[in-house]
Structure 1
Amino acid sequence: MLSLCIALLIAIGNGRGEKARQCMLFTVGVLIVITISLFLAQGTESVEDGSVSEFDAKVISVERTLDGRSSVTIKSREYGKLRLTIFENDPYVPEPGSVVYIKGRLSYPESPRNPGEFDSGAYLKRLGIRYDLKVLSISEVREAAPFWQAIARFDMFMFDIRDKTTDLFGDQKPLAAAIFLGDTSLTTKDVSSLFRRMGCSHLLAVSGTHFSGFLMLVAMLTEGKGRKKTRDKVIFVMFCIVLGSFTGWSKSVTRSAIMSSATCCSKDSLSGMCLAALIMMIADPYSALSYGFLMSFMSCFAILLISPKLNYRLWRLGLSKETAQTVGVILSAQLGMLPFGCVTSLRYGILPFAVQIVSTFIAQTACIFFVPSVILGFVCGDAFAAPAKLMLIALINLMNTVAPVYSAFKLPRAIGIAILACVAYGLTPKSRLRERLVLPLVAILALACGSALAAVLNPVRTRVIFIDVGQGDSCLILSGGKSLLIDGGTYQAGRDHVSPVLDYYGVDQVDVAIATHLDEDHSGGIRYLYETGRIRQVVTSHAEGDMQEVQGGDEIRVSDDCTVTVISPTPDEYTWDSNEDSVVCLVETCGVSILMTGDIGAPTESALVRAGRVPDVDILKVAHHGSAYSTSDVFLDACRPEIAVISVGEQNEYGHPAPDTVGRITEHGSAIYMTSRTGAIILSFTDGGTDTEFYAYQ
C-alpha cells in the first residue's frame, strides 16, 4: 500500500495545475478505499473451527477451468464471501445470480507449515474470505434472473471454445492454456515450480506482456488508416472485451483488459493507470489487497516514470534504441516490484535478468502469433497453430536448459526499502517536497546500512531446517553456499513441502542428499527431487540405481563450518532390516552437534552404545518419529541431548510419538520440539550463538 502511495505522490509531483489536483483527489480516493478494504477484511464474525452450518447464499461468480472444476464465489449474510469448488462429476453447478441453500463445514484456512509454502489463509483474506467451506449438500432456492442465465450460457459457450482452442496445441495444451488464457489448472506443479524458480511465474498469467502481443493485430488495423481517434479507441476497447470474454475474465485478464482500455482512452498513460486502479477498486475494494494488483500497478508506474530516463541513459552507453527500450522497461518493472521481493518468490541477479528478457520476448512473440494461429487453425487445420506452438516449445526448453546453472539471490528487505527510497527521491522533481524528503531518506539509508552491516558482522554460518513433511523425515542443511538434504519425506511431501523450502532459500539444486533408508516416508521426496533435477547426488546405506553407498566412518564436508560423519552402518553390520540399517550420522557445525538417527530401533541403539559410537550431542533427531520401540533409556543416557526433535504428522495412524517415548525423553531433561506442533524448526548458527525459529508460530 505504501509503495502504491509513493508512486502516486511522485505522479503528483510531476504534474502541474489541474492534473496535479486530479492526482491528489485520486490519492485521497485510494487511501479511503484502502482503509475500507482493510476494515472489510476484518468484518465477519468468528465461528467455531470445523462447525457445520446451514445458510442461504447468493452466487456472485462461477469460474470454470479446463481441468473440469468450477470455482464458485458466494456471499451469505452470516459469513460474508465464501468460495467452494465444484468438480466435473458433481451433478449441480450453480449459475451466477442464483440463490442456493448450503449445508457445509466451516473452518479456518491452514497456515503454511514451512518457509516458501503458499499461504492460502492470507490469500483468501485478501479476497475478503475468512473461512474454508466444505460443502456437504447444496440446492437451488431461487434460480437466476434471465439476464444472468444468458450470461451463464454465453460463458459456457466461450468455455467450450477455449477448450477447443487449446486442443490445437496438442501436447503443449497445458502451457498454452496458462500463457494464452491464464488457466493454470492443467499445469503440473513441476512446471509451475520451474517458472517460479526462474522468476517467470508472471508468464503463466495473462498480463500486460500478453495483451500487448494479442493487441498487435489491432495496432495493424488502426495504424495509418486515417481513422478518427474515437473509432480507434472503440475498436481497441471492443477487442479487449472480446479477448477478456474468450479467456474467461480471470483476475489477471480483467486487470490487464481494464489497464489496457483505460490507458488507450486517457490523455496520457499515467492518468490511464490511475483510472484503471480506481475502476477496479470501486468494483471490488478487496482488489487493493491483492499482490497481483499491487505488483501490476507498481511495475506499470515504474515503467512510466523511470523507463524514459533509463532508456536514454542506456542509449548513451552505446546500446541500440530498441535494446535500450527493452532492457529499460524490464529494469524499471523490476525496480517497481522491489517492495514485493521479500514476500514473494522474486529473486535477482544477472542470469535471472537475462532469462526474463529472453522469456518475455518469446512469450510476447507467441501471443502475437496466437490470434491469427487460432483463427487459421479453426478454419484450415491444426498445422496453422505451429508458429505459436513452436514459441511455447522454445520457452519451456529455455527454462529446462537454464535450470541446472541458474543462480539468483533474494534481496534483503532493508536493501529493497533503501533502493525504493532512493528511486522515489530521484524521481521527485525539485520542490519543497523533495527538500523535505532528504532527512527521511538519510534515515532510511542509515537503517539499511546498519542492517546490512549487522548481517556482515554476524552472518549465519549454517542453517538447519527440520522440514515439516507430516508423517516422515526431512532436514535441510545450508552452509557456505552448499546444501545437504537428509531424507525428503514421501514423494508428495517432496513436491508440496521440500521443494518450496528449496525455492525459498534459493537452492536450485541440492549438492548431496542422504536417504537414511529407502522407506517411502524418508526417500520418496528425494526420489521426486532427483527426478526433477533438483538433487546432484544421492547416497544411502543400501544403494540402488544411480545412488552411491555410504558406510560408517565416511565423512561428508558440507563446508568449512559444517561436516557430516556417518556413524553406521558398516557392511558387516547389515541386518537387512530397512529401519535398523538406517544411516546414522553426526552433523557438527559451529560447536553444535546434531545426531540424525533415521528409523533405527532399540537393537541398533544398544549395539551402537556397546561399541562406544554414540557421542554426547546437543540435539537429537528422535528415531522413527518417536516410536515406542526406539529412543531407549540406554541410548538417551549415552547421547544426553539438550533438545530432542521429533518429525511426526499430526494425529497419525501409528500413534507417534508414543507416550512412553515422550516420557523417557522428558525424564532425561531434554526439551522436545515436534514438527506437528511447531511446523518447520529452523536453527540458525552464527558466531553469536544459535537462533531457533518455529515457523508455525509466526
Structure 2
Amino acid sequence: MLIGSERFMLLKPIVVYCWAWVFGYAVAVRLPLESVQTVRVFIAVLVTAAVFVIFRLPWRHAAYVVPVALAAFCYYQWTEQHNVSELLSGHEAQSAAEGTAVRLNGRITSAVSVDGDKVSFVLKVSSAQFDGEQKERNINENVQVTVRLLEQDEQLIANGWQRGDEVSMSGELKLPSSARNFGGFDYRKYLHTQRIHAVVSAKGTEQIGVSERKGWDWVTLLRENDRLRNRLGNTADRLFPGEQGGYMKSLLIGLRVDMDPYEFQQFSRLGLTHLLAISGLHVAVFVSVILWIARTAGATKETGLLVALWLIPFYVLITGGSPSVIRAGIMAMLALYAARRQWLKDGLHLVCIVGLGMLIFNPYYLVDVGFQLSFLVTLGLIVAVPVVSELLPIRSSMLKSTVAVTIVSQAVSFPLSVYYFNQFSLISWIANMVLVPVVSFVVTPLGSGALLAGELSITLGKWLAWPVVWLNRINASMVDMLDRLSRFHLIWPTPSIWWIIGWYLAIWLLIAAIVRRRRSQKLIEAKLMLENSGGWLPKLAIPLYGMTAAALLVYGYSPDRWDRSGIVSFIDVGQGDAIWVRTPDDRNVLIDGGGTVWFRKQGDEWKERGNPFEVGDKLLVPLLKKRGVHQIDTLIMTHQDADHIGGLQAVLEQIPVKQIVFNGTYKRNAGTVKLLQTAMNKRIPLLAANRGDRLRLGGDTELQFLYPTDGGEEEIREQSNQNNASLVFMLSMSGFRFLMTGDMEKQEEEDLLTLMREDDSGNALQDVDVLKVAHHGSKTSTTEEWLSVWRPKLAVISVGVSNIYRHPAAEVVDRIIAQNSQLLRTDKHGEVQMIVKNDTLRVLTKLNGN
C-alpha cells in the first residue's frame, strides 16, 4: 500500500511543479515582501526542505516541490519590486496626485481608440520634461493617454493616428485612480498589472504632434494587424445587419467595442460570454476547418497539420491576442506538432507546460480573469469529462459528450463566475447546450467564410452571410426568451478564496466517491468483491460530500444570513447621492442612485460615446451585487434630478426591486420618464410619501418621513425644481438616528423646523447621530440654525472630486466644524460606511481623507 510521499510521487511531475509554481505566485500576491525579507524567506524554506530530504523524513518527496514554489514566490516578488515608475519618482509622485504639467515624447504601442470625443492609447515614453525643468529626462515607460476632442474635425485627425506612430505631446500627468468604494474596481491596480503607473490627459489635438515612423519592427507588425482587423470589421458591418455587426465582429475577430451593451449583458447573465472571448473552442474550430479544407483539397495529413500549425499564429493575432487565445494557440501548435511527429500527446501535460510558460513570461497573467477561466475550464474538461461521461446513463455518445462537457464547464467556471461577475443563471446549462454547438460549429465557420469572401466580393459575402443572419436572429430570440426568465438569474456576493477552494475540493471528492461506488458495484456484480467489504464509511461518502457542496452553495449565496449588524453606506458615486442601507433583519434599502450629468448642446451629437461611463451600470450595480444584494426591498428616490436617479435605471433593469418610494412629483425629462415607465412595466409599486408617513423595516429599523407636506396627493404633479421637493426622513436603526435630506434648501429647512415645532411640540427635534448634508454641501442649505437644532455627531457630504460646482461650500464646512461635528466627505474619504452592532456605531472609510 502506498503512503504519503510515495503516493504523491505517482502524480505527473510537470503537473505537480506547475501547481507548485502557481501556489508560489498566489502566496506572493497575498504576502508582498521587501527584498531583504524575500531573501530570508527563501533561505528559511530552502533549509526546511533540505532537512526533510537529508534526514529522510515523511513526505520528503513532496519537499522537492518546495524549491519550485519558493522560486515562483521570489520571482513574483522580484517582478513586483522592479515594476516601478521611472516617471513618478520622488516629488513627481506627490505632485502627480493632484496633476502636474508634463511634455512627453514617445511612441504609440497600442491600438488607438476613438469613441465620440474621447481618444485613448498607450504611449511608450522615451523622454519627459516636467513643468519648470530645464531639460528633458530619458524615460523608458508606458503611460495611458486620454485625449478629449474639442471639435468634430479633430475626430478625422485622431482616426489617422496608429500604433507605432511617433508622438510629442503636452498634457497633465496624474496617478491612476484607485478604488474609492469597498470592493470597487481599482484602476490603479489594474494598470499596475499592465506595467503602467501614470495617466496623461490632454484637451484637443493641438497639444499632440504625431508622425509616422519608418522601418519595420514588432510594433509596426502589430500596426498592420490593427489595419487588417479594422478592415475586416468594416467588411463585417457591410455584410451583417446593424443589430448583428457588433456581435459578429466580437465573435469572429474579438472586436467587442461596437457590440450592443444590452446584448452583452444578456450573454453575461446567461453565462455565454465565453462565446465572445476568443479561446480554445474558437481555435479548435479554426484548426478543424483548416484540416477539412486541406483534406478536401487532396493534401496529405502531414501537410494539413503543417498548414494549420503555421496559420495558428496568424489567427491569434487577427483575433486580438488575449491570454485565453494565446493559451489555446500555443496548446494547439504543440498538439499539432506532436501529432505530426507521431508523439504521444498528453492534454494535461500540454496545459501545464503552456500555463507555466505563460506565467513565467508574464507573472501578472495569474490575476487575469480570462487566463484563470481559460486554464481552469480546460483542465476541468481534460480531467473530469471522461469521468463524468462514464457516470451518465445516456446511450448516445454525442449527447453524452455534450452533457458531460456542459456539466464540467459549468461546475468549474461557477466559482470564478460568481467571484468576478457576481451572477449565475440556473438555466445557463440549457443556453450552453443549445447555443454553443450552433454558434461554434455553424455560425463561426460560416461567418468566417462570409467575411473572407466579402474581402473579395461584398455580393458573394452577403450571399454566404444570409444563413448566418437567419441563425443569428433565431439565436437572439432564444437568448432574449431565456434572459426574460429573470427568476432564474441569481445574484451572488463575492466569495472568499477559501470558499472557492472548498467548492472545488467538495465537487472533486463527490465525483471520486461516485466513481468508487460505481466500480465497487461492478465488482460486486462480477462476484469479485463482497458487498459489505470496506465498511460503512464509503457508503456515507457520497451523501457527505453532496451535503458539503450543498452547504457551501447555501452559505456562499447568503453568507450574512445570520449577521445581525446594520449598515448605512454612503457610496462614492462622484457628484451625486447613493446610500445603501442593510438592516439588522437583512432588508436592503437604496436611497438614490447617483448619475452622470451630461451638458450637451445641439450639434454636439458627435461627442456621444458608444458605451459611455454610466454610474449605475458601471459602479453602483456591480457594488450592490458584490455585497450580495439579491433584491432591494425599498428604493427611495428623494427627488428626480439626474445626479440622484440617473443610476437607478440600471438598478431596475438588473436587480429586483419590491417597491419605490418617491416625493409624489415628476420631472418632465427623458431619464425620469424612462425610469418610471420601467418601474410600471415591471409592476413595481410606486408609493408617494407624505409628512407623517412611517415605513417599518423589521424590528429594529423604521423610516419616518418629515417632508414634503403634500406628497400624498392622489395625482402626481409636475415639478421642475426638484430640490425643494426632496424627501426628508429620519432613519432609526437600533437606537441610532440618521437624518436624510436629499437636496433640500434653506427655505425648506426653515419650513420643516417650523412644522415640527408646531405639530410635534418639538418632541422629534432631538439630536441625530448622523446628518446627510443636503445638496452636496452647497451654500443653498445647511444653515446654522439647522445644525444647531439637530447637533449631529457625524456629518456626511456626498460630493465629487474637483467638481465644477466647487462643492462643498467653505462656509458650510466651517458651520459643521463649529458645531463640533465630525465631517466625512466622499471626495476625500471615498465610501463612508457605518456599521451598527451591539449598541455601537463604527465608522469605516475607504480612503484616509488626506
CA distance in 1, matches of 2:332, 2:73: 23
Paired amino acid for 2:447 = F
Cα distance in 2 for partners of 1:394, 1:236 equals 35
- 1:415 alignment partner, one of 492, 499, 515: 499
1:477 aligns with 2:581: yes
Cα deviation, residue 626, structure 1: 1.8
Letter in 2 for 1:74: K
Aligned partners of 2:501 and 2:652: how far apart in 1?
37
Cα offset, 1:263, TM superposition: 4.0
> Alignment partner for residue 541 of structure 1, among 647, 663, 670?
663
**1:694 Cα deviation from its structure 2 partner:** 2.0
Q: Please list, as runs of the form range in 1=range in 2, the aligned pairs for 1:131-146 lying within 5 A after superposition.
A: 131-134=198-201, 136-140=207-211, 142-145=213-216
Residue pair 2:331, 2:354 contacting (<8 A) in 1 also: yes
Moved more, 267-276 or 455-464: 455-464
After the TM superposition, which residues 9-28 of structure 1 pair with which residues of structure 2 at under 5 Å, given as runs?
14-15=11-12, 28=68
Q: What residue in structure 1 maps to residue 239 of structure 2?
A: 168
Q: Separation in 2 of the partners of 1:686 and 1:666? A: 27
Match of 1:237 in 2: 309
Contact 2:745 2:782 in 1 (8 A): yes
Tell me if the contact between 1:338 and 1:416 (Cα under 8 Å) persists in the aligned partners.
no
Q: Is the 8 A contact 1:103 1:138 kept in 2?
A: no
Pick aligned residue for 1:62 from 111, 132, 137: 111
Residue 647 of structure 1: CA displacement? 0.9
Quick one: which amino acid aligns to residue 111 of structure 2? V
Aligned positions of 1:361-376 closer than 5 A? 361=437, 363-364=439-440, 366-374=443-451
Residue in structure 2 matched with residue 441 of structure 1 by the alignment: none
After TM superposition, the structure 1 stretch with the greater mean CA deviation from structure 2, 154-163 or 352-361, is 352-361
Residue among 115, 118, 141 paired with 1:80 = 141
Name which of 706, 709, 725 aligns with 1:567: 706
- Give the match's secondary structure for 1:110: coil
Q: CA deviation at 1:85?
A: 5.7
AA paired with 1:14? L
Where does residue 592 of structure 1 map in the other structure?
A: 736
**Kindly tell me: are residues 322 and 686 of structure 1, through their superposed partners in 2, closer, same or farther at Cα, counting changes over 3 Å?**
farther
Q: Deviations over 1:565-595 (max 9, x none)?
A: 3222222899965322211122233333322
| Structure 2 gaps, min length 5 | 1-6, 23-64, 127-137, 150-154, 339-344, 513-547, 597-613, 667-672, 677-685
Number of the residue aligned with 1:649: 800
Shift of 1:403: 4.0
Q: Is the 8 A contact 1:95 1:144 kept in 2?
A: no
The one-character-per-residue Cα deviations of 1:200-220 (angstroms, maximum 9, x if unpaired) are: 444432222433444453464
**Structure 2 CA distance for aligned equivalents of residues 12 and 206 of structure 1:** 36
Does residue 52 (structure 1) correspond to residue 106 (structure 2)? The answer is no
Aligned partner letter, 1:672 = L
Aligned equivalent of 1:503, options 621, 625, 633: 625
Tell me which moved more, 685-694 or 674-683.
685-694
How far apart are the structure 2 equivalents of 1:586 and 1:218? 69
The CA distance in 2 between the partners of 1:685 and 1:308, in whole Å, is: 51
- Work out the CA distance in 1 between the residues paired with 2:561 and 2:470: 54
Q: Per the alignment, in what secondary structure is the counterpart of residue 62 of structure 1?
A: coil
For 2:8 and 2:329, the matched residues in 1 are separated by: 23
Distance in 1, Cα, partners of 2:723 & 2:367? 49
User: SS at 1:604's partner residue?
Assistant: helix
Q: Which residue of the partner structure matches residue 186 of structure 2?
A: 119
| Residue from 670, 685, 689 that aligns with 1:550 | 689
What SS does the aligned partner of 2:833 have? strand
User: Quick check: 2:119–2:158 contact (8 Å CA) kept in 1?
Assistant: no
Counterpart CA distance in 1 for 2:837 and 2:301 is 64
Choose 526-535 or 160-169, whichever is displaced more: 526-535
The reply on whether 1:581 has 2:725 as its aligned counterpart is yes
Note the C-alpha offset of 1:109. Answer: 0.8
Distance in structure 2 (CA, Å) of the matches to 1:384 and 1:302: 34
Secondary structure of the residue that 1:89 maps to in structure 2? helix
In structure 1, how many angstroms separate the alpha carbons of the residues matched to 2:571 and 2:108? Answer: 40
Change (3 A) 1:97 1:562: same
> Quick check: 2:102–2:170 contact (8 Å CA) kept in 1?
yes
Taking structure 1 as reference, are residues 697 and 245 closer, same or farther at Cα in structure 2, changes over 3 Å only?
same
Report the Cα distance in structure 2 between the residues aligned to 1:230 and 1:24, rounded to whole angstroms.
37
Alignment CA distance shift 1:536-1:261 (3 Å)? farther
- Residue among 392, 395, 406 paired with 2:489: 406
Deviates further, 283-292 or 267-276:
283-292
2:39 match = none
Q: Which 10-residue stretch deviates more, 25-34 or 293-302? A: 25-34
- TM-score, normalised with respect to structure 1: 0.80
Q: Pick which of 401-410 and 595-604 moved more.
A: 401-410
2:420 aligns with one of 344, 349, 353: 344
Q: What's the CA shift string for 1:437-484, capped at 9, x where partnerless?
A: xxxxxxxx9xx99xx799679615543321212222111224456433
Greater RCO between the two (CA within 8 Å, min separation 6)?
A: 1
Over residues 35-88 of structure 1, what are the superposed CA-to-partner deviations in whole Å (9 max), with x where a residue is unaligned? 554344336453421333344435544366898967445254625223436885
Deviations 1:504-530 (A, max 9, x none): 234466444222122222233335544
- 1:41 aligns with 83
- Write the distance in 2 (CA, Å) between the matches of 1:630 and 1:244: 59
The aligned counterpart of 2:469 is: 386
User: Which protein is bigger by CA-based radius of gyration?
Assistant: 2
Contact 2:173-2:201 within 8 A present in 1 as well: yes
Letter in 2 for 1:371: S
Cross-structure match for 1:3: none
- Over 3 Å counting, the alpha-carbon distance change for 1:227 and 1:685 in structure 2 is farther
Please name the residue that 2:174 is paired with.
Answer: 107
Quote the offset at 1:658 in angstroms.
Answer: 2.4
Structure 1 residue matching 2:355: 3-state secondary structure? helix
The Cα offsets for residues 327-369 of structure 1, whole Å up to 9 and x where unpaired, read as 5445544565577567522445745555555564564354354
Distance change in 2, residues 1:420/1:167 (3 Å):
same
Deviates more, 1:171-180 or 1:458-467: 458-467
Secondary structure of 2:178's aligned partner: coil
Report the counterpart of residue 436 of structure 1 in structure 2. Answer: none
Alpha-carbon distance between aligned partners in 1 of 2:791 and 2:661, rounded to the nearest angstrom = 28
Q: Which amino acid aligns with 1:393?
A: A
Distance in 2, matches of 1:11 and 1:82, equals: 47
d(CA) in 1 for partners of 2:831, 2:432: 32
Deviation of 1:486 (Å): 1.4
Checking the alignment, whether the CA contact within 8 Å between 2:119 and 2:146 is kept in structure 1 is yes
- 2:58 paired residue number: none
Q: 1:618 aligns with which of 758, 769, 782?
A: 769
- Report the alpha carbon displacement of residue 622 of structure 1 after superposing the two structures with TM: 1.4
Amino acid in structure 2 at the alignment position of 1:488: G
RMSD: 4.4
TM-score computed with the length of structure 2 as normaliser: 0.67
Structure 1 stretch displaced more, 330-339 or 646-655: 330-339
Secondary structure of the residue aligned to 2:579 is: strand
Q: d(CA) in 1 for partners of 2:301 and 2:711?
A: 86
Comparing 505-514 with 661-670, greater Cα deviation is found at 505-514
* SS of residue matched to 1:598: coil
Q: Which amino acid aligns with 1:52?
A: A
1:664-675 mapped onto 2 (5 Å cutoff): 664-675=815-826
Asked if the contact 1:95/1:148 (under 8 Å) is kept, the reply is no
Return the alpha-carbon distance in structure 1 between the equivalents of residues 766 and 662 of structure 2.
21
Partner residue in 1 for 2:56? none
Structure 1 regions of 5+ residues with no counterpart?
1-9, 429-444
Shift of 1:108: 1.3
Alignment of 1:511-522 (within 5 A): 511-522=633-644
Question: Secondary structure of 1:390's match?
Answer: helix
1-structure distance, mates of 2:446, 2:839: 58
Change (3 A) 1:155 1:458: closer
Partners of 2:15 and 2:499 lie apart in 1 by 33
